Amino acid sequence: MGDKAWKKRERNVAKYFGGERNALSGGNSKITRADVIHPRLFIECKLRKVHSVINLWEDTNELAKKENKIPVVTLCQSNRKGSWVVIHSEDLDKIINERSLAKSSRDS
């Protein structure tokens, strides 16, 4: 019998971040309640047919492609500092590089 789709996604995410899928995530685990066992990251995986924020990202991606740019969606809430950043995993290294360039030019 093949793996359930959500278990496979958890394994893929764990591999991406250098962790290991937590077979007993939630209340049964003795290690962590996260879906991925990792020394520094608490990773929760959600597999859905549709995530509304992904639709927003896809619309942004279409606009970004026309300008040959990397799509980034930031989610902000009133009266709350900071923001949440929605990116595609394939773009993570490029975005980290852009963030590093921004910090170094600001610090110079």
Helix (H, G, I), strand (E, B) or coil at 46: coil
pLDDT of residue 30: 75
d(CA 18, CA 100): 22
Q: What are phi and psi of 38, to 5 degrees?
A: -150, 145
CB under 8 Å to 57, separation ≥6 — which residues?
Answer: 71, 73, 86, 87, 88
Q: What is the pTM of this model?
A: 0.83
Domain boundaries, the chain: 5-37, 52-107
Question: Over its length of 108 residues, how does the chain's per-residue pLDDT go in tens digits?
Answer: 678 999 999 999 999 999 999 988 767 777 899 999 999 999 999 999 999 999 999 999 999 999 999 999 999 999 999 999 999 999 999 999 999 999 998 887
* 3-class SS of residue 9: helix
Helix (H, G, I), strand (E, B) or coil at 81: coil
